[in-house]
Structure 1
Amino acid sequence: MTKQKFFYATLVPYYKKDLAEGRITPEKAVELLECMWVAMAQFIDLYVSPTGGAFNEGYAHWEAVTIGGQTPNGNDATNELTYLFLQSKQEFPLNYPDLAARIHARSPERYMHEVALTIKEGSGFPKLINDEEVVPLLLSKGAKFEEAYDYAVSGCSEARMPNRDTFTSGCPYVNFAAAVEMVLHNGKMLLTGDEVIGLETGDPRDFKTWDEFWSAYLAQSTNFLKHAFIQQHVIVNLRPKHFATPLGSALHDLCMENCLDLHTPVIPGGIDMGYFELMGYGTVVDSLAAVKKLVFEDKRITMTELIEALKCNFEGKEAIRQMLLNAPKYGNNDPYVDSIAKEVDREALEFTRKYSKELGVHFDLRLVPFTSHVPFGKVVSASPNGRKAYTPLSDGSSASHGADVNGPTAVLLSNFNSKNYDYRERASRLLNIKFTPSCVVGEEGTQKLASFIRTWCDLRLWHLQFNIVNKETLLKAKKDPDKYRGLIVRVAGYSAYFCDLSPDLQDDIIARTEHSTI
Structure 2
Amino acid sequence: MNDRLEALKARVRAGEHRRFRQDGPPDLLAECAASALSWTQRAARLTRRMCEAERPVIEPDERIVFTRTVPTVPPLYSPEDWAALTRDRTLHELGPISNICADWGLVLSQGLLGRRRVALATRARLAADPQAVEFCDGAIEAIDAVLDLAARYAQAAADLGRDDVAAVLARVPAHPPRTFREALQALRLLHAVVWLSGHYHVGLGRFDQYLWPYLSVDLEAGRLDLAGAEELLAEFFIALNKDSDLYPGVQQGDNGQSLALGGSARDGSDAVNELTRMVLRVALETNMIDPKINLRIAPDTDLALLCQATELTRQGLGFPQYSNDAVVIPALLAHGYALEDARDYTVAACWEFIIPGKGMEVVNIGAVSLPAAADRGIREGLAAGDDMAGILQRVAADIRGQLGRLVAAYARLVLPPAPYYSVLMEGCLERGRDLSGGLTYNNYGVHGACSANAADALAAVEAFVFGDKSVDPRELVEALEHDYAGHEVLRRKLAEDGPKVGDNDPTADAMLTRLFDLFAAACEAIPDNRRGGRVRPGTGSAMYYVWLARGHDAMREPVVGATADGRRRNDLFSANLAPSLGAQVRGPVSVFQSFAKIAYQRIYNGGPVTLELSDAVFRDAESIRKVAMLVRTFAQLGGQQLQLNTLNVDTLREAQKHPEKHRNLIVRVWGWSGYFCELAPEYQEHVIARHMHAMG
Sort the Cα spacing of 1:396 and 1:357 in 2 relative to 1 into closer, same or farther, 3 A.
Answer: same
CA distance in 1, matches of 2:615, 2:283: 18
2:223 maps to 1:44: no
State the one-letter code of the partner of 1:12: W
Sort the Cα spacing of 1:167 and 1:150 in 2 relative to 1 into closer, same or farther, 3 A.
Answer: same
2:464 maps to 1:294: yes
**Secondary structure at the residue paired with 2:664?**
coil
2:239 maps to 1:30: no
The residue that corresponds to 2:541 in the other structure is 369
CA distance in 1, matches of 2:104, 2:611: 29
CA distance in 1, matches of 2:210, 2:384: 68
1-10 vs 80-89, greater mean Cα deviation: 1-10
- Aligned counterpart for 2:522 among listed residues 351, 357, 377: 351
CA distance in 1, matches of 2:260, 2:283: 13
- Aligned counterpart for 2:656 among listed residues 478, 486, 489: 478
The residue that corresponds to 2:503 in the other structure is 332
451-460 vs 474-483, greater mean Cα deviation: 474-483
The residue that corresponds to 2:368 in the other structure is 174
Q: 1:517: Cα distance to partner? A: 0.5
Sort the Cα spacing of 1:475 and 1:6 in 2 relative to 1 into closer, same or farther, 3 A.
Answer: closer
CA distance in 2, matches of 1:6, 1:450: 22
2:688 maps to 1:488: no
Q: How is 1:434-445 mapped onto 2 (pairs within 5 angstroms)?
A: 434-445=612-623
Residues 159-201 of structure 1 show CA distances to partners (whole Å, capped at 9, x for unaligned) of: 2212332324751222222233334554xxxxxxxxxxxxxxx
CA distance in 1, matches of 2:562, 2:584: 20
- Aligned counterpart for 1:285 among listed residues 455, 462, 482: 455
**Relative contact order, higher structure (CA 8 A, sep 6+):** 1
Q: 1:45: Cα distance to partner? A: 5.7
Is this contact kept in 2: 1:310–1:384, CA < 8 A? yes
Is this contact kept in 2: 1:168–1:263, CA < 8 A? no
- Aligned counterpart for 2:638 among listed residues 437, 440, 460: 460
Residues 376-432 of structure 1 show CA distances to partners (whole Å, capped at 9, x for unaligned) of: 111221111111211212211211113251101111111112x125x5453212221
CA distance in 1, matches of 2:377, 2:510: 20
TM-score by length of 2: 0.66
The residue that corresponds to 1:87 in the other structure is 281
The residue that corresponds to 1:155 in the other structure is 349
Residues 439-494 of structure 1 show CA distances to partners (whole Å, capped at 9, x for unaligned) of: 23322211111111111112332211111112222222223322221110011111
Q: How is 1:112-511 mapped onto 2 (pairs within 5 angstroms)?
A: 112-168=306-362, 170-183=364-377, 186=380, 204-235=382-413, 239-240=414-415, 243-264=416-437, 267=439, 270-325=440-495, 326-357=497-528, 361-378=533-550, 379-417=559-597, 419-421=598-600, 423-424=601-602, 426-511=604-689
CA distance in 2, matches of 1:206, 1:257: 60
140-149 vs 57-66, greater mean Cα deviation: 140-149
Sort the Cα spacing of 1:324 and 1:24 in 2 relative to 1 into closer, same or farther, 3 A.
Answer: same
Sort the Cα spacing of 1:514 and 1:388 in 2 relative to 1 into closer, same or farther, 3 A.
Answer: same
The residue that corresponds to 1:68 in the other structure is 262
CA distance in 2, matches of 1:350, 1:214: 14
State the one-letter code of the partner of 2:313: I
Residues 218-263 of structure 1 show CA distances to partners (whole Å, capped at 9, x for unaligned) of: 222222122122122222xxx14xx211122232223333333222
Sort the Cα spacing of 1:113 and 1:301 in 2 relative to 1 into closer, same or farther, 3 A.
Answer: same
Is this contact kept in 2: 1:104–1:132, CA < 8 A? yes
7-16 vs 424-433, greater mean Cα deviation: 7-16
Sort the Cα spacing of 1:13 and 1:429 in 2 relative to 1 into closer, same or farther, 3 A.
Answer: closer
CA distance in 2, matches of 1:467, 1:339: 27
- Aligned counterpart for 1:103 among listed residues 297, 305, 326: 297
CA distance in 2, matches of 1:485, 1:491: 16
109-118 vs 250-259, greater mean Cα deviation: 250-259
Q: 1:338: Cα distance to partner? A: 0.7
Cα RMSD of the aligned pairs, angstroms, is 2.3
**Secondary structure at the residue paired with 1:396?**
coil
Sort the Cα spacing of 1:366 and 1:407 in 2 relative to 1 into closer, same or farther, 3 A.
Answer: same
CA distance in 1, matches of 2:647, 2:520: 35
The residue that corresponds to 1:194 in the other structure is none
Sort the Cα spacing of 1:355 and 1:373 in 2 relative to 1 into closer, same or farther, 3 A.
Answer: same
Unaligned runs of 5+ in 2: 1-102, 106-203, 551-558
Residues 10-31 of structure 1 show CA distances to partners (whole Å, capped at 9, x for unaligned) of: 6434434434555433222222
**Secondary structure at the residue paired with 2:499?**
coil
Q: 1:9: Cα distance to partner? A: 5.7
State the one-letter code of the partner of 1:220: D
Q: 1:47: Cα distance to partner? A: 7.4
**Secondary structure at the residue paired with 2:612?**
strand
TM-score by length of 1: 0.88
CA distance in 2, matches of 1:217, 1:17: 58
Is this contact kept in 2: 1:166–1:262, CA < 8 A? yes
Is this contact kept in 2: 1:90–1:118, CA < 8 A? yes
Is this contact kept in 1: 2:516–2:603, CA < 8 A? no
State the one-letter code of the partner of 1:117: E
Is this contact kept in 1: 2:388–2:466, CA < 8 A? yes
CA distance in 1, matches of 2:591, 2:336: 31
98-107 vs 22-31, greater mean Cα deviation: 22-31
Sort the Cα spacing of 1:45 and 1:245 in 2 relative to 1 into closer, same or farther, 3 A.
Answer: farther
Sort the Cα spacing of 1:425 and 1:477 in 2 relative to 1 into closer, same or farther, 3 A.
Answer: closer
After the TM superposition, which parts of structure 1 deviate over 4 Å for at least 4 consecutive aligned residues?
2-10, 45-48
The residue that corresponds to 1:15 in the other structure is 215
CA distance in 2, matches of 1:118, 1:47: 24
Is this contact kept in 2: 1:18–1:24, CA < 8 A? yes
Is this contact kept in 2: 1:172–1:232, CA < 8 A? no
State the one-letter code of the partner of 2:536: D
37-46 vs 498-507, greater mean Cα deviation: 37-46
Sort the Cα spacing of 1:39 and 1:438 in 2 relative to 1 into closer, same or farther, 3 A.
Answer: same
The residue that corresponds to 2:52 in the other structure is none
Is this contact kept in 2: 1:245–1:263, CA < 8 A? yes
